[in-house]
Structure 1
Amino acid sequence: MRRDPAGHLLRLTTAHFALYRAFLEGLDEHTLHTHYGAPGTDVRVTRRTLATLRETLTIAARRAGDIDAAHLLRLKPGSLPAEAHAGAGQGAAPAAPVPPTLDAFRDQVDPDHFYSERELLGLYLEQFPPASSPAIDRKVARNRRLRERQDAALARMEAALVEAPRPDHTLEGWFDAAVVARLAAVGITTFDALLALIRRRRQRWYTAVPRLGATGARRITDFLDQHAGTLGSLSRLALVPRRQLAPGDAALRPLARAGADVVPLEALRVPAALDGSAGLNRAPVPAHQAEMNTDLQAVNAWIAIRGARSAQTQRAYRREAERLLLWAIVAKGKPLSSLNTLDVAEYLEQFLANPQPAERWIGRGGVERFDPAWRPFAGPLSARSRDTARRILTAMGAWLVRQQYLRVNPFEGLAAAAPVPIDTAGRTLTHAQWRYVLQTVWQPEPVLGAEPDRSDAARADRIRRQRDAFVLLLAYATGMRRAELAAATTGDLSRKALDGALEDAYVLRVDGKGRRRREVPMPARLMDLLRAELRARAEPLSLETAPADTPLVAHLVTGAALHPNTIGALFKGIFARAAERLAPSYPGAAADLQRASTHWLRHTFANHGLDAGADIRDMQSLLGHASLATTTHYAKGDAARQYQTVDAFFNAALEGAGAARRRPSACACASSAGCSPGICARQRATGRPPCRWSSSRPTCSTASSMICLPRSHSSPSGTTACRRARRGPWSTARRGAGDGLQWPTDRSFRAFPSRLACSLIDRYPDRLNL
């Protein structure tokens, strides 16, 4: 390790000695730079490196007391063949041919510079031997001895000075000072930190380092690859984009680790004492089950057989079995087949609720299984997730008992679990929230007279909005899961004739969970959006001519089907944009949208369908639920009606006790935010109901055409009575007739004009003689 004339640290490597060895053999500067110079630099850098090496090696030899090396390594390389043949022509016949120079000989026999200088010289002397002259022979012999001594001196210095990079080394001296400074600016100062960054960011890791481009990054990865013996081999993911690797590529397989460690099942190497072959709960293995001799083999068999129904089921089963097996081996130090009921109770109630130590068990989400940063958990599990784990593992234990692998199922001894409620109401968009989300992606209408923006960016934005609006409405109108959305193709669409209609209707065939197949209607306007979206793709398509495998939800550029995770991210982005717009006015509703996911649209489909009067058994069929009980979870109560009921009896109780009655100055809208009468009227179609009053005020619900008036204004109970509005005669109001408003002629229940009801009641309460 030395410093160059500019004061920068220089660590000598085998590459430096290869460069200097070629220099001593007489290669010219341009050839040296081509074969030994740093990529991306010019010949001046190689020239400066040679000068630095010459001074460094001379000083190091003198300090070591190796005077012979100090002298030999400073000798200027000579041309031995030219000296050997310089006197060859003195006693030769004039007609003898003149041998070529060594450079001309190289161009003739070695244009690609395959041979070293020494090998080329040997070939040259074989083909053009020097003249028989004692003086020339002595000179050739002396030069050969000189080269041998030079080689020996260089080898001694290489053995003494070369240092292989190690993970704990700082980067200073190994790379250019400017590159080292850029890496240090983002906290990368050692090879360990550099390798961790590359593993985490993969092929585009350099984007995390300002002013470091792809070329500079390639030089660094080339250096790391050259020193894989001490730094470790780089994954191909550091050089090749993930999408270009075949599914079975070695780079996509997790590395096996010695001993019991927290790794994916496919990389787990279990010590013999913990593999379960002698587990305390093992049953005698029958001859036909010889392949299930260890816990890992038994678990893999269960995952393969019971998880064959779908990829999602297999992933869920593998996740829970993997977590339990790793916990048994790593945390408890016992085989899975030795766990008892107390152990599994501890696992379900304590460990899953708080996996510790966190650095061993918890990692960031989205890490692929082959990544060393993979961990089994992304955080503590909720009560519902723990209940799911319990049900899956209980089923696994029962299967292993039936296969005569275990004697008893340890999960059967647990106390009955309390049912975990499904929060469907809290994971649903209200009517107002849904309309706001739709407005976020809906294609704006062109302004009359305005020149449309025809730029490429504007066109791309229109296509993106069109695709997003279609995908949002497709999920809302069908209630499909994100995996079902990703799998839907034009081949799944079929026409169906409806009674009472001449036009054809479309239905979409969906293969759902548990291999349950169902058909969901595709509304006519949704089909129009699909046709428009197909025409707008990079390769325009029509519904009639599109191949059967054309995905309904496609990539904007390639037209390929989107992965379920990508669809989930797409919806999260839509909800986030809507929440950002909503936050200044309604932070509570915006917070709900920030939590929303694809599955919220499935709940929203069910709730809005039931609100519109759909039969619950029809909703069960459309959702693909195996049990009607699951569908009933979606039938949430009317929050507005419930609030109104409680508010009514609470006010009645206060009035009965003589408390002052509170008279609201404005209506309360369905969004639970204060609003003016005009806003309340505009929200007439957003939910149940758009306006609410206490028992002392009329209650108007335009959605149900209901007008609610106090049963008796002087009634001590103050309760309200609501009836379905009857269409009846209208007349001009007796007071204030000049305003042109129409009112019922008596105190009976009459229908108000739907667009004006809420605002009129709030603005003119005296017209109703309240």
Structure 2
Amino acid sequence: MNPAVVPVDPTLAITLPTALDGSGGTNRAHGPHKQIAADTDVEAVRLWLAEYAASPHTLRSYRKEAVRLLLWATQTLGKPLSSLTREDFLLYERFLVAPTGDWADPELPRRGRTRRLFDGPLSERSQHQVLGILSGMLTYLVSAGYLAGNPLALRRRRTTSGKRSRRVERYLDHALWNHVLASVEQWPRLTERDEQHYERSRWLIRLLYHAALRVSEAAHAKAADFYQRRGKWWLHVVGKGGAEGEVPVSDALLSEFSRYRIFHGLPPVPSANEAGPAVMSIAGDDTRHLTPAAVYLIVKEVFRRAANALESTNPAGAATLHRASTHWLRHSAASHQADAGTDLRFIQKNLRHASIETTGIYLHAEDDRRHAETVGEADRSVPIDTAETTSSSLGPT
């Protein structure tokens, strides 16, 4: 079986050979206190995933990692998930660094039933995240009485003491963001559909940026989530794990929302009982929401077109835009708010971060100022022509 050709859907409908379904796994628990009725690995993993049914973004991420591991274990090692040992997971960690063959074949699509499962090597951060998700899954299955132990519990924990603090890098600086906005205005609008696509795309990227939304939050946002309180506009957001939050809506964003609605023949501002989505289908269908995948693809197209327009004059900027995705707009919003001097506590609330330490990674301005003043001071202290003259006149010592 081609490892990249997998029948995957929201119910984890993958079929494994009976000999590898985990019913006889060597790490299966055989105690009297089993908490679930599942007797195969797929059934057990499906129950674990069901715990996240109310969090679509988390569910998609967790299901992806479960599918990757199930297929890698059965097709590469010839073992069911419930027979994996710590040694096996060490091999999987090496595999994540450099997935090969059909696992990461660029000729295969990114989505669908015949998609590739990897886009390429995973970064150190992504590897850590993957193993954290899988360890959580195994811990759940141990608690459920399905597995006897969690091999990843033996993994050496990373120490954070003395770890170098880093700033987030996946964001657009002000110049690149302004270029993206200007680039969209150059899109051809020769047909009605061109015009519809243009209006939706320009509205979507502004919504993601100004409200610092995650892709799933933008996809599921309703028009009625925009509301007024004490004369100020706010956006009600349902985020990770169903957590609710409120984001201030600027006059600029409200104006863009009004423009988008007027284009589709709607009142400038929504009513409290309006059921339609904040971002509609290309023709303005207000009866259904976009999928997160559709939001992702629209934004990627915006970045791709902007990158292409920059290739000849700014190759580095073009390369950045080719890498950028929806989440970069959220990072950009936070970074730009921090650059403008917005109180870190307010940025934390705007991004709905549980910890203000997480929000702190967006503080670039102080680093920029320190770099400029340090380098500028060095440059001012020894002019280039003076340094060259001094060096040539000293001779050997």
TM-score for the superposition, normalised by structure 2: 0.84
2:132 counterpart residue number: 391
Structure 2 CA distance, aligned partners of 1:594 and 1:623? 25
Structure 2 CA distance, aligned partners of 1:653 and 1:540? 62
Q: Is the 8 A contact 1:655 1:661 kept in 2?
A: no
Amino acid at match of 2:46: N
1:280 counterpart residue number: 26
Q: Which one of 223, 229, 242 corresponds to residue 496 of structure 1?
A: 229
Q: Which one of 53, 71, 75 corresponds to residue 326 of structure 1?
A: 71
Q: 1:461 to 1:352 in 2, by over 3 A?
A: closer
Structure 2 CA distance, aligned partners of 1:367 and 1:459? 29
2:122 counterpart residue number: 381
1:550 counterpart residue number: 276
* Match status 1:584 vs 2:312: yes
Structure 1 CA distance, aligned partners of 2:156 and 2:41? 25
Structure 2 CA distance, aligned partners of 1:603 and 1:384? 16
- 1:703-722 equivalent positions in 2, closer than 5 A: none
Cα offsets for 1:376-412 (capped at 9, x unmatched): 3333322222111110011111111211222221101
* Match status 1:292 vs 2:19: no
- 1:332-351 equivalent positions in 2, closer than 5 A: 332-348=77-93, 350-351=94-95
Give 3-state SS (helix, strand or coil) of 1:427's partner.
Answer: coil
Q: Which moved more, 1:592-601 or 1:619-628?
A: 592-601
* Match status 1:416 vs 2:143: no
* Match status 1:511 vs 2:255: no
Structure 2 CA distance, aligned partners of 1:593 and 1:428? 10
Corresponding residue pairs, total? 378
Structure 2 CA distance, aligned partners of 1:459 and 1:367? 29
Amino acid at match of 2:357: A
2:325 counterpart residue number: 597
Higher relative contact order (CA 8 A, sep 6+): 2
Structure 2 CA distance, aligned partners of 1:532 and 1:658? 58
Amino acid at match of 1:473: R
Q: Is the 8 A contact 1:283 1:404 kept in 2?
A: yes
Structure 2 CA distance, aligned partners of 1:347 and 1:493? 45
* Match status 1:487 vs 2:220: yes
Structure 2 CA distance, aligned partners of 1:267 and 1:488? 31
1:527 counterpart residue number: 254
Amino acid at match of 1:302: W
Cα offsets for 1:531-560 (capped at 9, x unmatched): 2211211x5445355962221211231424
- 1:155-166 equivalent positions in 2, closer than 5 A: none
* Match status 1:304 vs 2:50: yes
Give 3-state SS (helix, strand or coil) of 1:426's partner.
Answer: coil
Question: Structure 1: where are the runs of 5+ without partners?
Answer: 1-256, 445-455, 498-503, 663-770
Q: Which one of 433, 446, 452 corresponds to residue 176 of structure 2?
A: 433
Q: 1:633 to 1:405 in 2, by over 3 A?
A: same
Q: 1:562 to 1:585 in 2, by over 3 A?
A: same
Amino acid at match of 2:77: K
Q: Is the 8 A contact 1:654 1:661 kept in 2?
A: no
Q: Is the 8 A contact 1:443 1:465 kept in 2?
A: no
Amino acid at match of 1:390: L
Q: 1:367 to 1:579 in 2, by over 3 A?
A: closer
Amino acid at match of 1:317: Y
Structure 2 CA distance, aligned partners of 1:424 and 1:485? 25
CA-based RMSD of the aligned residues comes to 3.2
> Offset of 1:469 from its aligned partner?
2.8
TM-score for the superposition, normalised by structure 1: 0.45
2:14 counterpart residue number: 267
> Offset of 1:423 from its aligned partner?
7.1
Structure 1 CA distance, aligned partners of 2:174 and 2:361? 18
Structure 2 CA distance, aligned partners of 1:606 and 1:512? 16
> Offset of 1:366 from its aligned partner?
2.8
Q: Is the 8 A contact 1:355 1:362 kept in 2?
A: no
Q: 1:492 to 1:329 in 2, by over 3 A?
A: same
> Offset of 1:519 from its aligned partner?
0.5
Give 3-state SS (helix, strand or coil) of 2:232's partner.
Answer: strand
> Offset of 1:640 from its aligned partner?
4.2
Cα offsets for 1:126-177 (capped at 9, x unmatched): xxxxxxxxxxxxxxxxxxxxxxxxxxxxxxxxxxxxxxxxxxxxxxxxxxxx
Q: 1:400 to 1:460 in 2, by over 3 A?
A: closer
Q: Is the 8 A contact 1:505 1:524 kept in 2?
A: no
Structure 1 CA distance, aligned partners of 2:164 and 2:109? 26
Amino acid at match of 1:597: S
Structure 2 CA distance, aligned partners of 1:552 and 1:511? 13
1:469 counterpart residue number: 202
Q: Is the 8 A contact 1:345 1:414 kept in 2?
A: no
1:754 counterpart residue number: none
> Offset of 1:579 from its aligned partner?
2.5
> Offset of 1:425 from its aligned partner?
4.1
1:706 counterpart residue number: none
- 1:562-641 equivalent positions in 2, closer than 5 A: 562-638=290-366, 640-641=368-369
Q: 1:291 to 1:638 in 2, by over 3 A?
A: same
Question: Structure 2: where are the runs of 5+ without partners?
Answer: 391-397
Q: 1:643 to 1:559 in 2, by over 3 A?
A: same
Structure 1 CA distance, aligned partners of 2:25 and 2:201? 54
Structure 2 CA distance, aligned partners of 1:616 and 1:404? 44
> Offset of 1:493 from its aligned partner?
1.7
Structure 2 CA distance, aligned partners of 1:310 and 1:428? 25
Q: Is the 8 A contact 2:306 2:318 kept in 1?
A: yes
> Offset of 1:484 from its aligned partner?
0.9
Q: Is the 8 A contact 2:36 2:146 kept in 1?
A: no
Give 3-state SS (helix, strand or coil) of 2:233's partner.
Answer: strand
Q: Is the 8 A contact 1:424 1:603 kept in 2?
A: no
Structure 1 CA distance, aligned partners of 2:216 and 2:37? 34
Identity %: 35
1:253 counterpart residue number: none
